[in-house]
Each structure stands twice: as structure tokens, then as C-alpha cells.
Amino acid sequence: MPIIDLPNIRLHVQELNPAGRETIIMVHGMFSNLAVYYFNIAPMLAKHYRVVLFDMKGHGMSEKVQTGYDLTSMTTDLRDLMDELGIEKAHLAGYSYGGLVALKMATRFPERVGKLAIIEGPDPSEQETLAIIDTYSKEFLIHYIENFADTTRLLAGKRQLEKNHRMYEFLFNETSIRSDMEGEKAFFNDPAVAAITNDTLLIYGEESNCVPSGRTLASRIPNSRLVLAPGDHNVPVQQPEVIGKELIEFFVRHDEMIVTGAPADCG
């Protein structure tokens, strides 16, 4: 799918199984792009749902802008994207800072959100949050280049690395991304987060520095469940099949039991 013009931004969007009965929108983290889901996890979910992926502003193939990386602006972009695609309501899956975007959507536009899957959502009040995201996003980009980019020729790999380096330089030096993320320090303590009633799955790498963030969210969101998977903050890249299976169990299995009339506790 080409670039989509929204009221305030131009976003690169990809869809899998557009005829799916329901929709899951997947939000990547800061300093990465939709490829974190596209090659492994999204195709697993697309067997059951319409799956929408997009590059957030300043990332991937979306428009490069200097401001608007706070959660309110990010969720306005997502709401506008849903409006443009004719999506009245969707389940959300968000990784890292994208998980905070998903949570913010549930507080701002609860009528537009079904289930929530939060993967490695960091507590913005932690001083190391930005460093964690930066470090593991670089690891993701290297993994992407080595496994999915056209690196059969040295020059192709070099061009991809240079492109990623330019993205980092732009985001760190020419945008408000740092101050916008720092401005969200009180987010986990927002009463609106504790008021989220959506079924929520919290997935964290058992070796991740963000596990305490998962435990905090689990203690504050009533209808939530915390799952620890093998890996660290970059667990979607390290264990895509494990994460995909957890998401299918969460999003798909319960819905299918409702449709078929099977008992909720069946094996």
C-alpha cells in the first residue's frame, strides 16, 4: 500500500488479509519500523485477522517531521489513520514505545479499541528508558539487514546501513523526540491508565530491564495478564514465533471459542 495522506502527516502503511473479519493494528517502537512485525509475526496473525502495519512519523518510509512524537500526537495520527482506512474499532498490539501509544489510545479513544497487547512497554519515568530503546532498536535494525534486506552484495548492505544511520541522526539531532518522550514521565501514574478496562496482554522478555515496567502495568490495569518470554527488550526479533503464538492465543483463540460456542475453559 502506498503512502497515505492524513490531516497532519503522511504515513507508509502495509496491510495483510484486508478482507479479515476484524482488524489488528500493530505499532512498532521508536527508532525501528514496521519490519519488526512484517516478516514473521504479522503473517501469523493475518491467518485470522486483517492486519494493518504502519511506519510512525519520522520512521521508515513515513514523512520526516521535527515535532509531534509525544503520545497525544502519536495517537491522533493513529486515530486519523483508522478514519482514513474506515476502521471503526481495532485490536492493538504495540512494541516498546508503540506499546505506550496503544495504551494511550485506550485512554483517549476507548470506543475505538478492542484488546490490547503490550510488548515491552517501558516506564517513561525510568531514566534509562530512552537508552534501552536506542540500544535494542539498533540491534533490531542490524538483525533486519542481516536477515531480510538485500545484502547479497556488499554495497546493498552498506546503503541500508547508511540509510538507518541517517534516520538515527535525524531523530536524535533534528527532532523533539527526546524531549517528547521525557515529557511522558508521569504516564504510568495517569489515573486513566488504571481505568483501562480492555483485556490486556503484557509480554516482556524475562531478561529485559523493562520487566519491572510490566509488573507495574499488571498491578494497575485490572484485566491484564503478564507473560515472560525468553529474551530481552528485543524479544519480538529474538523470538517471533513465541510472540506470535502468544498473540494468537490472546487475540484469536477466545474469539473463535465465542463464535463456535465452545466452553471458555476447553483445552
Q: What is the pLDDT of residues 103-132, one digit of tens each?
A: 999 999 999 999 999 999 999 887 666 565
**CA-CA-CA-CA torsion sign (234, 80, 200, 259):** negative
Q: What's the CA gap between 127 and 209, in Å, rounded?
A: 12
Closest among 265, 119, 267 to 200, alpha carbons compared = 119
Closest among 94, 109, 73 to 25, alpha carbons compared = 94
Question: Residue 143: pLDDT above 60?
Answer: no
Q: What is the pLDDT of residues 54-69, one digit of tens each?
A: 999 999 899 999 999 9
Record the cell numbers describing residue 124, joined without a space: 517513561
pTM: 0.87
Question: What does the DSSP assignment read for 9-28?
Answer: -EEEEEEE-TT-SSEEEEE-
**HSE (side-chain half, CA atoms, 13 Å) at 223:** 12
Element (H, E) at 89: none
**Which strands form 113-119's sheet, in the order they lie side by side?**
3-5, 10-16, 50-54, 23-27, 90-95, 113-119, 200-205, 224-229
Q: What is the pLDDT of residues 196-237, one digit of tens each?
A: 999 999 999 999 989 999 999 999 999 999 999 999 988 998
Q: Report residue 171's pLDDT band, with 50, 70 and 90 as the boundaries.
A: confident
3-state helix, strand, coil in the chain (%, to 5): 50, 15, 35
Question: What's the mean pLDDT in 26-35?
Answer: 90
Closest among 25, 107, 48 to 252, alpha carbons compared = 48
- Residue 43 pLDDT: 97
Q: Pick the residue with more confidence: 97 or 126?
A: 97
- Contact between 59 and 33 (Cβ < 8 Å): yes
Q: Are strands 10-16 and 50-54 parallel, antiparallel or unpaired?
A: antiparallel
- Residue 214 pLDDT: 97
Question: Across the strands, what pairs with 16?
Answer: 51
- Contact between 227 and 235 (Cβ < 8 Å): no
Longest dimension (CA), the chain: 56
Question: What's the mean pLDDT in 24-36?
Answer: 91
Q: Are strands 113-119 and 90-95 parallel, antiparallel or unpaired?
A: parallel
Record the cell numbers describing residue 162, joined without a space: 547508511
Q: What top-level class would CATH report for the domain 3-260?
A: alpha beta
- Where are the chain's structural domains? 3-260
- Which 8-state DSSP code applies to residue 234? T
Q: Pick the residue with more confidence: 9 or 135?
A: 9
Calculate Rg over the CA atoms of the chain. Answer: 18
Question: What's the mean pLDDT in 152-170?
Answer: 60
- Residue 32 pLDDT: 83
Question: Residue 50: pLDDT above 80?
Answer: yes
- Contact between 234 and 206 (Cβ < 8 Å): no
